[in-house]
Amino acid sequence: MQDVVKWLKENANLKVIDEPLDVELEIPHTAYIEVKKDDSRPILFTNPINKAKNIKYKMPVLMNIFANKDVTQKIFGKHPDDVADGIEELLKLKPPKGFKAKLAMIPKLFSLKNVFPKRLKFRGDCQEIIVAKEEVDLDNLPILKTWEEDGGAFITMGQVYTQSLDGSMQNLGMYRLQQYDKNHLGMHWQIHKDASHFFDQYQKAGKKMPISVAIGGDPLYIWCGQAPMPYGMFEMLLYGFVRNKNAQLVKSITNNIYIPRDVDIVIEGFVDPKLTEIEGPFGDHTGYYTLKEPFPVMEVETITMKKNPVFAATVVGKPPLEDKYMGWATERVFLPMLKPMAPDLIDYNMPENGVFHNLIMAKMKTLYKGHAMQFMHAFWGVGQMSFVKHALFVGEDAPELEDSEALARHILNRLSPERIFITKGIVDHLDHSANEQFVGGKLGVDATEDEVEEGIKELLEDSLLLDKMQAIDSTIVSLKHYMKDTKNPICVIAVDKKESQLKVIDKLKVLKDNIKLLIIVDRANNDIDDSYMLIWRVVNNIDAQRDVLLEPFIAIDATNKCELDGFKREWPKDTFCTKSVLDGLQEKGIIDIDENFIKRFGLLPF
């Protein structure tokens, strides 16, 4: 994969767009729409420009590298399940008994030598061009501005290489980087990430922290950058395991950090622990804007690159996006690493419309009462899984976890207030729904037992139930039932919010014979006929301790929170495309979408 563009043309039906398009909104909007298609493809933009700065860039922009499952599997060179099998075999490795067993183990042990990165003593392809500090100008890179209300242009697929203060540990992470000017970048490493832990060491020592940011190269580097490796383990070990060959690293020009020899661009610099700047806002992978917050600043010392570099980038926002396919590979590969802490785990699934950390579904063997609750605590207490907000557990008789409709019926037939567990714990840095940052409600559902005996007492037609509700509260504007044939039909209502929905739920208690599971969303920007986006909205918008009631029916308030709810933090906006940009791309023939597509994926407000 030395020439990634050539490889993508031959293996992934690469789409090439020669029309000059702006790095501000036009290119990101095009990629955003493409990856939502059923037959999405990687895209190469050969003529990126910046109209505001009057720049015509000398390098193309490559996006949607992980455009679908097929190309993701080809990038790995094997199915991610095969990688998982190799990891599981390694975890179960035992000392051989007898001479024959020792001989049989030799090939396995011999292959492990390829896992460890190899540090080369010469310069790499990524250092063919070296830009001196006084000549550094980040404006020479086609850095994208994805959303209209973004705080600026952001590098979105940067491989951020850092090391601990004593040099004993190295880390590869993927953090967004805001361009402030010609030689400064905002370092958005979240407080729970390894690079942030390293930064704490430098800050306490009063020393500047070296950083090298790589762009491009083998796409597997990018995937490794987001892989949830245990603290202290260098992600490039995972690269060597998947590729069965050593990652070849070269020393950065201005610091001691080693980076892959074949990446396209390297931005080297230092972070002064005394200096922070406001970073953001930024339309993030949650589908909401991450709010402004101070973060460390990287001062760029030099930029190195290949003679003909390609600028790799991604776009984040409402699902589905290419992180769907990167996440799928991560989910499959890391299954064996979860099993030691949860030995009876069969499988798990983190759907992209659950924004991964907001929703997990797991299948397990249940051996005793409370087993699922034990799993919940295990998941919420270890590594990246500790950020999961909502965990649903089913038994081994359940449908396949990716069969969402059959699985939903299975769970709803086993749902009762007694099988719902609500607690408090750590939440992701980007979570906006908790009353305080970093800590919020968590919800677990034990659907491993038999079907519940009691269903709904009287299921009314949607129109009749809506009339009854509107007679009680006029802010309720629409209603739709899902899964009417289950023991717990889902009743979704949309409201024009005028007060806390806990008060509305209290008013609706008189309809307890007609409701088993009630979900409330705002009328604005929610289509109650679109279950995919409703799941996205609900798991983003709730804090289980505040927004879930279990009596006299299960009720979930998934509306946007504000002062009416006693919510003191700022509630972020949805990520929306810019209509004039979509119209312009349509006129140029770059995109071809209709109103149904726009509404289905929430591209514009409605």
User: Is 495 in the same domain as 373?
Assistant: no
Task: Give the residue with greater pLDDT, 143 vs 228.
Answer: 143
User: Is 181 in the same domain as 121?
Assistant: yes
Amino acid type, 116:
F
Residues contacting residue 259 through CB under 8 Å, at least 6 positions apart = 124, 126, 159, 161, 212, 214, 249, 250, 252, 266
* Structure tokens that stand for 554 in this block: 């299960």
Cα separation, 162 vs 205, in Å, equals 16
> What average pLDDT does the segment 204-221 reach?
96
- pLDDT of 60 above 90: yes
Confidence of residue 195 (pLDDT cuts 50, 70, 90): confident
CA end-to-end span of the chain, whole Å?
Answer: 43
User: Is 471 in the same domain as 395?
Assistant: no
pLDDT at residue 91, rounded to an integer: 67
pLDDT at residue 489, rounded to an integer: 98
Spatial contact of 74 and 220, defined as CB atoms under 8 Å apart: no
Tell me the pLDDT tens digit for each residue of 336-392: 888 888 889 999 999 999 988 899 999 999 999 999 999 898 888 877 888 999 999
pLDDT at residue 378, rounded to an integer: 86
pLDDT at residue 457, rounded to an integer: 95
Task: Give the residue with greater pLDDT, 520 vs 106.
Answer: 520
* Percent of the chain topping pLDDT 90: 84
Q: Could you tell me the CATH number of the domain that includes residue 71?
A: 2.30.110.10
User: Is 9 in the same domain as 129?
Assistant: yes
pLDDT at residue 109, rounded to an integer: 57
| CB-based burial label for 201 (10 Å; 0-12, 13-18, 19+) | middle
Confidence of residue 189 (pLDDT cuts 50, 70, 90): confident
User: Is 9 in the same domain as 115?
Assistant: yes
Residue range(s) defining the domain that contains residue 379: 342-447
- pLDDT of 93 above 70: no
> What average pLDDT does the segment 582-594 reach?
97
- pLDDT of 554 above 70: yes
Examine residue 584 and state whether it is found in any structural domain, yes or no: no
* Percent of the chain topping pLDDT 70: 96
- pLDDT of 147 above 60: yes
Q: Which of 226-230, 253-257, 265-269 has the lowest mean pLDDT?
A: 226-230
Q: Could you tell me the CATH number of the domain that includes residue 480?
A: 3.40.1670.10
Confidence of residue 111 (pLDDT cuts 50, 70, 90): low
Examine residue 325 and state whether it is found in any structural domain, yes or no: no
pLDDT at residue 106, rounded to an integer: 61
Q: How many domains does the chain have?
A: 3
pLDDT at residue 281, rounded to an integer: 95
User: Is 184 in the same domain as 308?
Assistant: yes
Cα separation, 255 vs 251, in Å, equals 8
- pLDDT of 110 above 90: no
Confidence of residue 103 (pLDDT cuts 50, 70, 90): low
Examine residue 596 and state whether it is found in any structural domain, yes or no: no
Spatial contact of 112 and 237, defined as CB atoms under 8 Å apart: no
Examine residue 327 and state whether it is found in any structural domain, yes or no: no
Tell me the pLDDT tens digit for each residue of 422-476: 999 989 888 999 999 999 999 999 999 999 999 999 999 999 999 999 999 999 9
Q: Which of 232-246, 534-548, 582-596 has the lowest mean pLDDT?
A: 232-246
User: Is 213 in the same domain as 99?
Assistant: yes
Average pLDDT of every residue of the chain: 93
- pLDDT of 588 above 70: yes
- pLDDT of 232 above 90: no
pLDDT at residue 88, rounded to an integer: 82
Spatial contact of 295 and 364, defined as CB atoms under 8 Å apart: no
